[in-house]
A = this chain, B = another copy of it.
Amino acid sequence: MSDAIINRRDLDFQLFEVLDTEALTAHPRFAEHSRETFTAVLDTAQAIASEKFAPHNRNADENEPHLVDGKVRLTPEVAVALEAFVQAGFLAASYDFAEGGMQLPAVVSQAAMSIFASANMSTTVYPLLSMGNASVIHRYGSAEQKKTYWEPLMAGRFFGTMALTEPQAGSGLADLKTSATPNPDGSYAIRGNKIFISAGDHALSDNIVHLVLARIEGAPPGVKGISLFIVPKFRVQADGSLGARNDVALTGLIHKMGCRGATSTMLAFGENGACRGELVGEPHKGLRYMFHMMNQIRIGTGIGAVMLGYRGYQASLAYAKERLQGRAPTSKNPAEPPLPIIEHGDVRRMLLAQKAYVEGGYALCLYCAQLVDTQTTGADETARREAGMLLELLTPITKSWPSQWCLEGNSLAIQVHGGYGYTRDYPVEQYYRDNRLNAIHEGTHGIQALDLLGRKAFMHNGAASQLLARAIQHTLEQADEADNAAELQEFTTALGAALMDMASTLQTLGAALAKEPERTLANASVFLEVCGHTVIAWMWLRQALAARRGLATHTSTDNAAEQAFYQGKLSTCRWFYRWELPKTRAWHALLRSLDDTALAMPDGGF
């Protein structure tokens, strides 16, 4: 089986050696599963991803969705790939057997999705949104809505979107203007414009189900007056067959720098007064329902960012092993043959940095995905509640850190290729363009920073932050108890100090938030940075511990590849602790100074 699209050894390491995903099978919900069934799912994902998704990744970029006779046309391989995806049952991977699903843990289904994302991010956007949409209807929709929409969504006959953003409001959801007026039959007349709606129009499915945020007439202003509506492209009749076209018009395609294969649309709802929507759940609770989906999608965004970084890392690693150029600094003899560039110190640095970013980010995303499982199947109520709280705290970090640092990895992948990397003949420039989206959509970096500092870090009297500190402390204790504590001591000392730094920063910021919220929040992005680097250092210590365990079981030299794999993990951990974690010192000092330079800058001084 091709593993060109992902380092499967690393994924197996993350799942079965770092996370102990196999232990989930002790829970009744996953009792039918085993490491073998998990592996089979990932094998299937890998086969479909490499055969059907990866080959058209460049083609979809070069032939972006365009209009032919008013209809959106995609490169045809997208439909073929999604057909295989649907047939293999991935849409319903995490639903119960009884509902036609695979009853997989979230961590395994997210791992499978990561494989598709690594092969072709743009094509993966379609099922990703559809699955997010379906999960909202499944959770909050009526029995009838589930039958009418969720079932066809799961069958891949309908695809779904989320339609939040409006042209005038952007991230400011409080200013959404789309209106919903009750119809006599209990439905609502929807009217308004939405923008940046991914997968907003296409011919991949019989129907498209938009989940639309809108305001019912007379609703309170702001986010407390937003309701959620199902608005299908074609109305669905009582027998499930498709009826007339709903009044949802495609008003434009958006041409992006990257992720070009994923249709992005402007949609007008109710231009002719005939757009019919169905309320989901209760009025005015739309944002809460949508955030059920948003949080999933935020982890998915982190995974997407990691996988683009991962592909860049693998492409540049392969290139660095093949490309011959230059000599060691100590041997300038031009008669010697040139070296593979992986032998050059600076190229090794660029590869190691990429590895540290992408495997560190991957560990975090999968950790969060497994928290979703603990949240529902944890040993007791406390475990479940704590998993939920930790997940809430980590979500903005998981969304943002990979978007920033795996993009940096993509830049390094270009750099390893030199001039070739800047050409469209190599894949790395596309990964870089594609990944730049991830710091923007599903809540920008700035929005995540405000969420983390303004809401999550101090929620429940700081309980989530304390929980995170305890979880890190627990890993530190494990490392101290390990046989090889001496080797890990460099890491435990540094991470212990970073934890102390964090505690002190939290104290300062907590007090400051109450007194000077605007000034404190102005530096929220630095807080996001420092939390991200600390959490990723923790993820690397967890990987180092697992690598030590792995090495202990491979003491003979008969498996050199395995030994090198584990040594590589330890070296990368060391690199992160020496090159990256020390950056947090300056960030902590800056945060505690409550700097107001940007706020105090005169407008005319820009």
Residues of A within 8 A of B (CB): 165, 168-172, 174-175, 195-196, 221-223, 254-258, 317, 323-330, 332-335, 338, 342, 344-352, 355, 411, 414-415, 418-419, 421-425, 429, 432-433, 436-437, 439-441, 444-446, 449-450, 454, 517-519, 521-525, 560-561, 564-565, 567-569, 571-572, 574-575, 578-579, 582-583, 585-586, 589-590, 593, 595, 597-606
Contact = CB atoms under 8 A, between A and B. Distances in A.
Closest 7 CB pairs of A and B: A568-B605, A345-B522, A564-B604, A222-B334, A582-B586, A348-B598, A257-B429
Contact of A586 (B165, B221, B586): B586
Contact of A346 (B196, B328, B429, B449): B449
Given A329-B518, A590-B578, A419 B195 contact: yes
B423 A256 contact: yes
A326 B422 contact: no
A200 to B, nearest CB: 13
A261 B465 CA distance: 51
Nearest to A222: B334
B582 A424 contact: no
Given A222-B332, A352-B601, 7 more contacts: A174-B326, A222-B334, A257-B423, A352-B597, A415-B446, A575-B598, A583-B583
Contacts of A338: 172, 175
Given A454-B329, A571-B600, A257 B424 contact: yes
A160 to B, nearest CB: 20
A227 to B, nearest CB: 15
A66 to B, nearest CB: 13
Nearest to A258: B422
A561 B351 CA distance: 48
Given A352-B597, A606-B317, A606-B355, A432 B257 contact: yes
Contacts of A221: 334-335
A170 B419 contact: yes
A170 B418 contact: yes
A522 B349 contact: yes
A525 to B, nearest CB: 6
A346 B603 contact: no
Nearest to A167: B420
B597 A165 contact: no
Given A175-B338, A568-B604, A578-B595, A256 B422 contact: yes
A190 to B, nearest CB: 21
Most chain B beta-carbon contacts within 10 A, residue among A170, A567, A601:
A601
A418 B344 CA distance: 38
B222 A345 contact: no
A445 B414 CA distance: 12
A446 B425 CA distance: 22
Nearest to A424: B255
Given A171-B418, A419-B441, A423-B254, A518 B595 contact: no
A441 B323 CA distance: 18
Contacts of A169: 325
